[in-house]
Each structure stands twice: as structure tokens, then as C-alpha cells.
Amino acid sequence: MAQSKTETRRAAGIDYTLTRRRVRNINLRVRADGSVAASASPRVPAGVVDAFVAARAAWVLSAQRKMARRARWDAAADAALPTKAEALAQMTALCRAYYPRFAASCPGGAFPRIAVRDMRTRWGSCSLKTGTLAFSRRLCVTPPAAQEYVVVHEFCHFAHPDHSPAFWAAVEAVLPDYRRRQQLLR
Ligand SMILES: [Zn+2]
């Protein structure tokens, strides 16, 4: 049983963790938080890994600067967003406006539970099981036409849980220009 072991090392002023794994080469990466991680086979002497890291010091520093810049940008973007309560009020109002068109397909015919989350990879989601429509807080600062599209998209999932032609036909029936609206989210 091979167990991976991690130790903290320093090379050319760079602190990094070295994890022993069954890998063919030496792997080196800079994480989103700027920390540096290397992995290497137990057969490679630690000094060789130190030299490998030292030889890539300029790349590591540049990657760390890039990560720091991205983190600052994310923090600034988040600060410009409405609060969760404001976002929830905004998305609830928008859903109320479209609800009458979808009431028949909502679980129990009831107005769904609306949630706002800090989703980064999706604009919205629909849970048939809990009768919930969830939206990314970031959606609130996109153009209203795009917000309407996401609301309609998620409402349509109550009747069509997939992205089948029938699903897109349902979206198009409510928003004939939905393709143009999708562009606003790219
Ligand atoms: Zn979808």
C-alpha cells in the first residue's frame, strides 16, 4: 500500500509542499490561493525537486501574481453585487411576473421557493424535488433581458428536466428572442 506523504520545502525563496505519489514526472502547480504544490515519485531525491522548482521560480512568481490579481478582481466584483436580500427580492419579483405562465407545471401548482446563491459556474438551477428555483447572485447585475431569460429557462425545467428540443420549444414560446438573450450572458 503506497501512502502519499507531504512535506514542506523551500527552494529559491519559494515555499512549496512536496507530495510523494506514483507519478512519472515531477508535477508543479500554483493553486488559486497562491500556494505552490509539487508532486514526485518517491524515487526522485528531494534535492532534484528543489532544483526543478528553483529553475521555474520566474514562472511560479508570475503565476502567483496572476492569482493575486484574479482574487482582487473577484473581491471587487463581489463588492459591486447587491446583497443577498436585495438579490432575493429582485429575483422573486421577476419570478412572480413569469409565474402565471408556468403555474400549471410548478410542483403543486404553487409559486416555487426562490433562492439566491453565490454560484460561479451556473446562472440558475431548478429542483423539481424541492420546488426551488435558485439563481446566482451575479445574475442580478446582468442586463434585465438576460435575467428574464434565465428565469424562463429555469421555470421551463419544471416541465422538461432536460435540454431536449421540447424544452427549447417551451423557452421559445415565451421568449422568441431567447438566443439573443443568451448572448448577453457570454
Ligand atoms: Zn437548463
| Residue (of 86, 80, 30, 84) closest to 53 by Cα position | 30
CA atoms within 13 A on the CB side of 185: 21
What is the DSSP-derived secondary structure letter of residue 12?
T
pTM of the predicted model, to two decimals? 0.66
pLDDT in the model for residue 107: 94
From edge to edge, which strands make up the β-sheet containing 113-117? 113-117, 132-136, 124-127
Query: Separation of 93 CA from ligand 1 center, angstroms?
Result: 21
Contact 155, 129 (CB under 8 A): no
Number of separate domains in the chain = 2
Query: Separation of 161 CA from ligand 1 center, angstroms?
Result: 8
Range of the domain at 42: 5-79
Are 129 and 162 contained in the same domain? yes
What is the DSSP-derived secondary structure letter of residue 113?
E
Query: Separation of 135 CA from ligand 1 center, angstroms?
Result: 12
Reading the block at residue 78, the C-alpha cell is 463581489
Query: Separation of 87 CA from ligand 1 center, angstroms?
Result: 21
Are 93 and 171 contained in the same domain? yes
Are 89 and 69 contained in the same domain? no
What is the DSSP-derived secondary structure letter of residue 111?
P
User: Which residues are CB-contacts of 96 (< 8 A; sequence separation ≥ 6)?
Assistant: 111
pLDDT in the model for residue 3: 56
Are 162 and 113 contained in the same domain? yes
pLDDT in the model for residue 1: 44
What is the DSSP-derived secondary structure letter of residue 83?
P
Query: Separation of 37 CA from ligand 1 center, angstroms?
Result: 36
Query: Separation of 165 CA from ligand 1 center, angstroms?
Result: 12
pLDDT in the model for residue 80: 83
pLDDT in the model for residue 4: 66
Give the domain-ending residue among 15, 45, 79.
79
Query: Separation of 157 CA from ligand 1 center, angstroms?
Result: 7
Are 46 and 110 contained in the same domain? no
Query: Separation of 32 CA from ligand 1 center, angstroms?
Result: 28
Residues of the chain below pLDDT 70: 1-4
The strand ranges marked E within 31-88 are: 36-40
Reading the block at residue 80, the C-alpha cell is 459591486
Are 149 and 107 contained in the same domain? yes
Query: Separation of 154 CA from ligand 1 center, angstroms?
Result: 6
Are 151 and 93 contained in the same domain? yes
Query: Separation of 163 CA from ligand 1 center, angstroms?
Result: 6
Contact 71, 50 (CB under 8 A): no
